[in-house]
Structure 1
Amino acid sequence: MLTSLKNPWIKTLRKLHLAKYRRQQQQFLLEGTHLVQVAIATQYPLQAACATEAWQVRHPALWQQLSQCTARQETVSPEVLGAIATTETPDGVVAIAPSDTITTTVDAPTLGLALEDIQDPGNVGTLMRTAAAAGSDGIWLSQNSVDLTHPKVLRASAGQWFRLPKQVGDNLLAQMSTWRDQGCQILATAATGAVPYWQLDLTHPMVLVVGNEGAGLSASAIAAADHTVAIPMMNDVESLNVGVAAAVILFEALRQRQAAG
């Protein structure tokens, strides 16, 4: 059993709390039973795993699966597990996964979601979970958005991180042009001067573009969209959380498509 926080491997894993080390090592942490289960179920490659003895007793079959799909498994003390994890009360297991297999491409999406400079990891994870629930083909993120392997992104996605195609790009305007050439209508969210979302025909292939939590979408992205859409609100409410706003529009698209048969 590993009990020392000075163990070289443990020290390396703790560095993965930081985005720059995750990029350097091309690795990230999966914390908790649920994420490990989903990773195995979706056949996402895992490199190593560590767990407390108590967790192994509770989940013997899952520990056996980890022994079959990882090159290294270590039993660690609760103190060491707590130092590796980023949560305050980890449930006893952390796996290490490669990040060089993440990027996927969604060609000609029917219901896509694009994020411009979204900084909050909880929002990005929630957007992934919402997009998957609404039947989205995938999610596109700008380079200035939060790191995809941030632990809070993974947790907030409730496992949909592994199932939803995702792509990081450096030129939103060029990507919007590509989607338009593929037959998609581009919808940009805006607070004013926009059409209420329910007035648009969302049964056709579309990509919804949402912007930064504080600044919103850039003027260039709004100008390049086919439509700007708004969610009408009471006068004393200035804005909605970006995850909530995207959910309202994506599920309206789903409703229209189901109604159309």
Structure 2
Amino acid sequence: MTALTEKSNRVAAAIKLQRPAGRRHAARFLAEGPNLVEAALRRGLVEDVFATESALDRFADLLGAVEVHPVTDRAAKALSDTVTPVGLVAVCRMPEVSLAEVLSAPRLVAVAVDTADPGNAGTLIRLADAMGADALVLAGDGVDPYNAKCLRASAGSIFSVPVVEAPDTLELVRDLVYAGLVVMATTLDGETSLDDLKLDVPTAWLFGSEAHGLPTTVAEAADVRVTIPMAGGAESLNVAAAAAICLYQSAAALRGSDGSSA
């Protein structure tokens, strides 16, 4: 096999990773752009890097001694899902992490239930990472966390915080309780105000989808149904805002219980 044929085969295999079925089959995904590629390199998850000539020049410091497969602008466009590709794409192995591992001794877990929007899922991953959560769990009928839009919205946090999937949400809630976590469900009609919660304990937060919120059966399975008090005229918050408030409150309380500064 010639070097040209081998590279063509690598590019063809990488293009298949744009589809969910291709990612699942290969247990690989594409990271595009300098931020994601750099984060993947730090985790040691990169198998192949493809770059155009201009990208090689532009990101020379980032790539260093990494072996790069030069590609044409046309090939780079085929590997990208963006309108204006930057010309830098890496094939990465999916991080190997299980639900059992993240629930071995958890203190703070964020759960996105039936989150179909990749932008919301990626933002929740980023929030979980920023607040020091042990994991972000995509529960129920959720988006593929290695969807390109989700990866971009995570801003590299997909490589920093464990992200696991749990198809059966009610079973997941039981697992969270068994792991010693107090399960909090965010709902508009929750009987407990966020202001009144004791949050210096191991906690799991359940966040529903933007469109439908949490299913009733899931909210009822939680230990506490929580509402965020709002003084203004807004009737609700989007899922990212609600998650940011709840996770920050938990992280601050846990820091305080450790005797560290907030």
TM-score over 0.5 (shorter chain):
yes
The 4+ residue runs of structure 1 with deviation greater than 6 A are none
The offset of 1:240, in angstroms, is 1.6
8 Å contact kept, 1:194–1:228: yes
Partner of 1:22: 23
CA contact (8 A) 2:138 2:164 kept: yes
Task: Deviation per CA, 1:158-186: give whole Å up to 9, x if none.
Answer: 11101101211122222222222232110
**1:108-123 equivalence runs, <5 A:** 108-123=105-120
Question: What secondary structure sits across from 1:16 in the alignment?
Answer: helix
Query: Which amino acid letter does the alignment assign opposite residue 54 of structure 2?
Result: A
Of residues 82-91 and 119-128 in structure 1, the stretch that sits farther from structure 2 once superposed is: 82-91
Listed as ranges, the matches of 1:36-51 within 5 Å are 36-44=37-45, 46-51=46-51
SS at match of 1:191: coil
Task: Give the letter aligned to residue 18 of structure 1.
Answer: R
Asked if the contact 1:14/1:84 (under 8 Å) is kept, the reply is yes
Give yes or no for the alignment of 1:183 onto 2:184: no
1:139–1:164 contact (8 Å) kept in structure 2: yes
The within-5 A match list for 1:101-140 is: 101=96, 103=98, 105-106=101-102, 107-140=104-137
CA deviations 1:75-121 (Å, max 9, x no partner) are: 11223212211122222200111337354631231011111110111
Q: RMSD of the TM alignment (CA)?
A: 2.2
Which runs of no fewer than 5 residues in structure 1 stay unpaired? 68-72
Name the amino acid aligned to 2:51. Answer: A
Q: Distance in 1 between matches of 2:128 and 2:12?
A: 36
Whether the 8 Å contact between 2:184 and 2:226 is mirrored in structure 1 is yes
Deviations 1:36-91 (CA, angstroms, capped at 9, x unpaired): 111111222x2211101111122334334431xxxxx4211223212211122222
Describe the SS at the equivalent of 1:233: coil
Query: SS state of the match for residue 66, structure 1?
Result: coil
Kept in 1: contact 2:112–2:124 (CA 8 A): no
Q: What does 1:78-157 align with in structure 2 at a 5 Å threshold? A: 78-99=73-94, 101=96, 103=98, 105-106=101-102, 107-157=104-154
Give TM-score scaled by structure 2 length: 0.87
Which amino acid is the alignment partner of residue 94 of structure 1? V
TM-score (norm 1): 0.87
In 1: Cα distance, 2:235 partner to 2:85 partner? 37
